[in-house]
Amino acid sequence: MVAMLNPTGLLKPWQRLRWFMSNAHSGYEKITLAEGDALVIVDLQNDFLPGGRLAVPDGEQVIPVLNGYIERFINQGLPIFATRDWHPKNHSSFIEQGGPWPEHCVAGTRGAEFSAELHLPASVRIISAGSEVERDGYSAFETPLCKQQLDSAGARRLFIGGLATDYCVLNTVRDALAFDYEVFLLTDAVRAINVQPRDGQKAIDEMVQKGAKPITLSMIL
């Protein structure tokens, strides 16, 4: 068949669309960073890393990947935000207060500091969450300052990664989508706590279903 010899004629339009979609999240699609883009790094704090009070399994693996994203955003002169879990000593989420978690990320402690291996620039804009005793603070948007800071930086597309997929990343992405930001989920730079084994995968599925676009570092030009 003659059509078989012509690669562009090989696939019917709907087959071509399906082929494109099946490759869209596997390094085929490329993204050019532009004005209006902002990197949002969620909770890369010592307590969520090996040796920390609430270590996320394999959490340290996101650090070199996030450093790659940081480099690209710095090179393009784009803003970088870092959220931090920043609890009072008597936070309601702590086991001592009847909550689900060991004490972690108490404001001002070493455990609450950003990882020293993360190459945050001096210009990083820090957003603290979870400072109210009775509120989870899983989403950085719980503090109105978060949206204010993003808006004053002109951010429209948010590139979100960090820890943990099934808590702070999930809730921050949910709110970002609800506020109508375009959200790119950095799937190579998130890790889950997985209280239940599939929590992380379920969180990714929900974020993508709600409109977050899953990407990896190699897709950024």
CB 41 within 8 A of CB 81: yes
Residue 167 as a binder of ligand VGL (CB under 6 A): the answer is yes
**CA distances for 220 relative to 23, 62, 80, 216, angstroms:** 15, 16, 16, 8
**CB of 120 within 8 A of CB of 70?**
yes
Stretch that binds ligand VGL, among 67-75, 114-122, 163-171, 177-185 (CB under 6 A): 163-171
Binding residue for ligand VGL (CB under 6 A) from 62, 70, 158, 163?
163
Interface residues with Zn ion (CB under 5 A)?
A: 85
Q: Could you tell which of Zn ion, ligand VGL, none binds residue 188, using a CB distance below 5 to 8 A set by kind?
A: none
Q: Answer whether 183's CB lies under 8 Å from 176's CB.
A: yes
- Kindly state whether residue 43 participates in binding ligand VGL, applying the rule CB under 6 A: yes
Per-residue binding letters, 74-113, with ligand VGL (x by CB under 6 A): -----------x-------x-------x------------
Least Å from the CB of residue 112 to ligand VGL: 11
Nearest-angstrom CA–CA distance, 9 and 33? 33
Contact 186, 160 (CB under 8 A): yes
Q: Does residue 164 bind ligand VGL (CB under 6 A)?
A: yes
Q: What residues contact 202, with CB distance under 8 A and at least 6 apart? A: 166
164 binds, among Zn ion, ligand VGL, none (CB under 5 to 8 A by kind): ligand VGL
How far, in Å, CA of 35 to CA of 107, rounded? 33
* Residue 168 contacts ligand VGL per CB under 6 A: yes
Binding site for ligand VGL (CB under 6 A): 43, 85, 93, 101, 163-164, 167-168
